[in-house]
Chains A and B, each alone.
Chain A
Amino acid sequence: MTRLLLLLALLLAAPAHAQIGDTTYRLEDPALEARARAVGRELRCLVCQNQSIEDSDASLARDLRILVREQIAAGASDEETLRFVHQRYGDFVLLRPPVGIHTVLLWATPVLFLGGGLIAIVLTRRRRAATGIGDTELSAEEKARLARLEGPPPP
């Protein structure tokens, strides 16, 4: 029980946001800095590969964070900034890859799995119906026997 409570508490705890200690290149305007961070969270650090450039301490991630801030400070929109990095590093740099010919399988996987599961369920149910399981009507003989069993015990 305690373990379960502990697990629940862990699940409910807000994820701690790692902050990169180096503040020298943060933008002074908090609105611009917030936009830069949002853009940075969309970009994969290519060195660690499972972190965004905002979360990573790799030197390339640092360079890209600076680059994103430069672009945003120079008046580029979020999309333009993302496109700038995307053009250089390809689809892999985007943590949310675009839908395309070579990513269609990736995006379609949930639908394929759900659809496959549904088809499997329908097929099993159909087969069960065909083999006679599921027909639960009792025959007259069985009903009589059941009534006898349920009746008051003989004295």
Chain B
Amino acid sequence: MSTMSPSRRRVLLYAPLAVAGAAGLGFWAMLRGLQDGSFNPRGVPSALIGRAPPDFALPEVEGANLPAFAAGDLRGTGRPVLVNFWASWCVPCIIEHPQLMALHREGVPVLGVNYKDRPADARSFLQRHGNPFARLGADQPGRVAIEWGVYGVPESYVIGRDGLVKWRWAGPITAEMMPELRRLLA
């Protein structure tokens, strides 16, 4: 063991420090990503990115007085649209709602899919928090959500001008994410 040169010994001495430093940097990057929404450790990448949305046709939410929509309504709109899966029983949807209202006021077409909800509950949610949706479909059995690969509400998709899915976010849209989202929807 006495054959180890002093420089080699120094390298071995500092190696753990370097490893700890690298781990710290990685952790810092993760925390930053968590904060601005670019990193979601529980997030599941969407299989739809870059593809056309699945074929579907939703009925309207009873008594909501909003037109329902189908796959065809997402094509040829001439501008990007936001598709938002939500439910009145979903607490993060309340956190997200002001952001949807803001996008609606800015003229972004927000299309809502009311997931596994009672029409009366959905209506009173919109009455209390305001209605951001240009169109609203009801997915009571949750089958259309499965077609989209939705695994929880809220979940949002940006459909580009070309009718392909550009972006997906699983979880509430927060105020911090708005600049990025506005850029995608411009």
Query: What is the interface of chain A, defined by CB distance below 8 A to chain B?
Result: 46-47, 49, 59-60, 63-64, 67, 86-90, 92-93, 131
Contact = CB atoms under 8 A, between A and B. Distances in A.
Interface stretch (B43-51, B75-83, B100-108, B178-186): B43-51
A90 B146 contact: no
A90 B168 CA distance: 13
B146 A92 contact: no
A89 B47 contact: yes
Which 5 pairs of residues, A with B, have the shortest CB-CB distance? Answer: A90-B47, A46-B151, A88-B149, A92-B44, A89-B149
Contacts of B47: 86-90
27 contacts: A46-B151, A46-B152, A47-B152, A49-B42, A59-B116, A59-B142, A60-B142, A60-B146, A60-B151, A63-B142, A63-B146, A64-B146, A88-B47, A88-B54, A88-B147, A88-B148, A88-B149, A89-B44, A89-B149, A89-B151, A90-B45, A90-B46, A90-B149, A92-B44, A92-B45, A93-B44, A131-B3
Contacts of B45: 90, 92
> For B42, B44, B45, B54, which residue has the most chain A Cβ atoms within 10 angstroms?
B44
Chain B binding site: helix, strand, loop or mixed by DSSP?
loop
Contacts of B152: 46-47, 60
Contacts of B3: 131
Q: How large is the interface on B (under 10, 10 to 19, 20 to 34, 35 or more residues)?
A: 10 to 19
Interface in B127-168: 141-143, 146-149, 151-152
Interface of B: 3, 42, 44-47, 54, 116, 141-143, 146-149, 151-152
Contacts of B46: 90
Nearest to A92: B44
Nearest to A45: B151
Contacts of A49: 42
Contacts of B149: 88-90
Most chain A beta-carbon contacts within 10 A, residue among B3, B42, B146: B146
Contacts of A46: 44, 151-152
Nearest to A93: B44
Nearest to A85: B146
A122 to B, nearest CB: 19
Contacts of A86: 47
B9 to A, nearest CB: 15
